[in-house]
Structure 1
Amino acid sequence: MANVNFLAVFLGAAAFFMLGVLWYTVLLGGAWGRLTGIGDEMATRASTLGGRPMRRNPTWLVMVLVFAFELLISLTLGHQYAMTSPSDRAKMMIAFGYGAMLLTPAIGIMYLFQMRPGKLFAIDAGYLTTGTVLLGAIHCWLH
């Protein structure tokens, strides 16, 4: 891990997070909210699971955990780059591959079993693939 560019890891995760802010608010927030049933009123609406009230995670905790997961994705990408020393072109191909060939099928499997709408899958898979490409670009830029 000594050769990992930790600045690129952190800034990449921050860019990934900021992309999510835009993706799930300005760009596709309306469609995403309709498909998930998650909106501004969700915090005040009672929700149940199996007849029992469900406890909702506070927004700050969700955001901290999202950033932590994106940091792990960026660290994994940074570690692969450090171990293989690929060209910038190869870095971008690897980053796209992470999103399109690893993360997208993984959420696709879950969405199929959960019977979630295809449009929701497209929004979320698009975010993950775009986010990993952004990670690759940040890692290339800070090489």
Structure 2
Amino acid sequence: MNDFALWPVLAGAAAFFAVGALWYGLLFSKPWQRAAGLSNTQLREGNMAVIFGLTLAFELLIALVLWHLLEKTDPKPLVVMMMAVGFAGGVMIPAIGINYLYLRKPLALFLIDAGHFLFGMAAMGGVFVWLRA
């Protein structure tokens, strides 16, 4: 891709990752843990380096795809935000919802996770608006 730009993709992914850290660390750690049905022991058993590493890798992929789309279409700043938030609301959140329906996950878990995707994508969109200015 000739429109690949490393720094915006890294910055967009970092913004999404930072929202996740705040979302699941400070704001909703206990409600998320209860809704997910995870004990403290289960949370300690996970390999956090792998979990965080793969999370960042997936967020880099999301940032790469959105950045590529922005570079191909050259939208105005408001449209960048509409695309970022619209991708969350129109693709990512419904996909989570479908999975959670079949997994019989509680509404509280869906709302917490959906909020993370919505605000994470808004943060990424904001970074992209700032870097494209």
Identity, % of aligned pairs?
38
When the two structures are superposed, what TM-score results if normalisation uses the length of structure 2? 0.93
What's the counterpart of residue 124 of structure 2? Answer: 135
**Aligned pair in 2 of structure 1 residues 4, 140: CA closer, same or farther (>3 Å)?**
farther
What's the counterpart of residue 24 of structure 1? Answer: 24
Residue from 95, 99, 110 that aligns with 1:121: 110
Residue from 29, 37, 49 that aligns with 1:60: 49
Counterparts of 1:126 and 1:19 in 2: how far apart (Å)?
A: 10
SS in 2 for 1:119: helix
How far did 1:41 drift? 2.0
Q: Deviations over 1:83-118 (max 9, x none)?
A: 100011110000011111110000000000001001
- The amino acid of 1:115's aligned partner reads R
How far did 1:8 drift? 1.2
When the two structures are superposed, what TM-score results if normalisation uses the length of structure 1? 0.87
- The amino acid of 2:38's aligned partner reads I
Name which one, 1 or 2, has greater alpha-carbon Rg: 1
How far did 1:36 drift? 1.1
* Runs of 5+ unmatched residues, structure 2: none
What's the counterpart of residue 80 of structure 2? Answer: 91
Counterparts of 1:39 and 1:75 in 2: how far apart (Å)?
A: 35
What's the counterpart of residue 8 of structure 2? Answer: 8
